[in-house]
Amino acid sequence: MQCWSIILAAGSGSRMAQAAGGVKKQFIRWNGAPLFWQSAVTLARVARLHGLVFVFPPSDMEEARAELEDLDRLRGLGLPWVVAEGGERRQDSVYNGLMALPEQCDTVLVHDAARPFLSPALVNRLLDALQDGAGGVIPVLPVTDTIKVVTGTHVVSTPVRDTLRAVQTPQGFNRATLSTAHQACRAHGWQVTDDALVLEQAGIPVVTVAGDPQNHKITHPEDLAMLGNRERDTVDGVSMLPVVGWGYDVHRYGTGRPMKLGGVPIPGAPEVVAHSDGDVLLHALTDALLGCMGGGDIGEHFPDTAAEFDNIESGILLNEVYDQLLQQGIVVTHVDVTVIAQVPKVSPWKPHIRKNLCRLLKLAPEQVNVKATTEEKLGFTGEKKGIKAVATVTAMRPVRAASPQGTGQEG
């Protein structure tokens, strides 16, 4: 399954623009970037997502593209992306986004940029349903208010509330299914308010998954206050708690594996004795990531007695742990690593190591620091018998409700 997401940022939002000093809501600044960027960053944290299509108003296309390029260069989105022009109606913008998808894409999400508080967990629920064969899937929430159908000032009927659901984005689809339905929509002149309705009109079943109560839509001017409140202690609209993970690893020198540090080969360095490829820095970093999610240590996950890990690239192990971390909604904010060795001289390789760590973790350069030091010819490393590394990772972890204790009931 190769999935891309269309981010719809082509609306006019006239009421909101008036309240925001003439700025369309998708371009309102939040956390130092336009609102649409927040959705992009969250989607980029989903390991199963392969790329993004941004749909902008034609009048804002060049300016938005330039800002995207700057943001990607400075902050590193970590996914390929393209832009497409918006249409007169929402359904036209979605169609243009579909036309911009690469040929190999077979699954697509459609998301409104005005919902910046989506979470990776919500996206993964959609992808799970699509992987199970759904042609279309939408996130929904129960309706808590009584809903009335009215004409003018008169009540016509009251739907049964238990059957009503509020619908959110992103919505997920088989690409071919959605494309065919949109072509029928254009041919018949249907007017639709979301993409699930396009499938419904075409007679194609749509399934639901649990939505996210925090996935609010920025619609009215008073919603702007929500942005200010959430900048302080939330990520993706979820209450977060800062956590710190610490990792340490050591390898002795001897006939074994050519040295790598942070995934970067170090020519002329002593070989290291190891079961995997012996990348001491990535091992320490992997342990630090495990620390952020309370996941034990690297030896529990990848024991050195297991044949499948013989000479395996440490970057593969790190990626597996990092995917688990992202699945839990944890957001890494900073990484600090130190290599401790008398030999080799690590300083010339620090820029290369930093660049590769940014690539592996999809972090901006300012979020990664690489240091090197010696132990002044003292001890294990000072006697040139081996190499050490330590890593510290700071992150934001979703606040989980504690399991009820002492209820006096047994299952």
For residue 375, say whether it is annotated as part of any ligand binding site: yes
- pLDDT tens, position by position, 257-276: 999 999 999 999 999 998 88
25-29, 233-237, 247-251, 291-295: the lowest-pLDDT one: 233-237
Asked whether residue 394 is marked as a ligand-binding residue, the answer is no
> Is 233 annotated for ligand binding?
no
**Is there a contact between 19 and 26 (Cβ–Cβ < 8 Å)?**
no
Has residue 231 got a pLDDT over 60?
no
304 burial type by CB count under 10 A (0-12 exposed, 13-18 middle, 19+ buried): exposed
299 is in an annotated binding site: yes
Tell me whether residue 297 is annotated as binding: yes
Tell me if 397 sits within 8 A of 390, measured CB to CB.
no
**Is 392 annotated as a binding-site member?**
no
Residue 361's Cβ-side half-sphere holds a number of Cα atoms within 13 Å equal to 32
pLDDT at residue 23, rounded to an integer? 56
Question: What average pLDDT does the chain have?
Answer: 87
Any idea what DSSP says for residue 161?
G
DSSP 331-365: EEEEEEEEEE-SSS--GGGHHHHHHHHHHHHT--G
Q: Has 36 been labeled as part of a binding site?
A: no
Residue for token pair 């000093």: 21
Number of H helices, E strands in the chain: 13, 20
Q: What is the mean pLDDT of residues 362-376?
A: 90
List the domain range (segments joined by +) for residue 391. Answer: 239-398
pLDDT at 5 over 70: yes
Q: Does 245 carry a binding-site annotation?
A: no
Q: What is the CATH number of the domain that holds 394?
A: 3.30.1330.50
Within 10 angstroms of residue 267's Cβ, the number of other Cβ atoms is 8
Answer yes or no: is pLDDT of 15 > 70: no
pLDDT digits (tens, 9 = 90+) for 213-226: 989 888 776 666 66
User: Do the domain assignments include residue 409?
Assistant: no
The answer on 224 and 264 residing in a single domain is: no
Phi, psi torsion values for 282, nearest 5 degrees: -70, -30
| Residue 301 assigned to a binding site | no
Q: Which of 198, 231, 264 is the last residue of a domain?
A: 231
Q: Is 50 annotated as a binding residue?
A: no
Q: Would you state the pLDDT for residue 76?
A: 73
**pLDDT at residue 384 tops 80:** yes
Label residue 33 by pLDDT band (50, 70, 90): confident
Gap between the Cα atoms of 396 and 393, Å rounded = 10
| Cis bond upstream, residue 344 (ω within 30) | yes
Q: Is 365 among the domain residues?
A: yes
- Residue ending a domain, choose from 231, 254, 269: 231
* 216 is an annotated ligand-binding site residue: no
Q: How far apart are CA 323 and CA 49, in angstroms?
A: 12
**Tokens standing for residue 81:** 């992306």
Give pTM, 2 decimals.
0.57
The answer to whether residues 13 and 158 belong to one domain is yes
Number of domain units in the chain = 2
- Do 243 and 227 belong together in one domain? no
Other C-beta atoms lying within 10 Å of the C-beta of residue 181:
26
CA 411/CA 407 separation, integer angstroms: 11
209 part of a folded domain: yes
Q: For 297-348, how does the pLDDT look when each residue is reduced to its tens digit (9 = 90+)? A: 999 999 888 888 887 999 999 999 998 898 787 888 899 999 999 999 999 9
Same-domain status, 218 and 144: yes
Tell me: pLDDT of 150 over 80: yes
| Peptide bond between residue 270 and the one before it cis (omega within 30 degrees of 0) | no
Boundary (domain end) residue, out of 187, 204, 231: 231
| Residue 369 forms part of a structural domain | yes
pLDDT digits (tens, 9 = 90+) for 115-142: 988 989 999 999 999 999 999 999 999 9
pLDDT at 45: 85
pLDDT digits (tens, 9 = 90+) for 47-92: 899 999 999 999 889 888 988 888 887 677 889 999 999 999 999 9
Tell me: is residue 334 an annotated ligand-binding position: no
Co-location of 293 and 383 in the same domain: yes
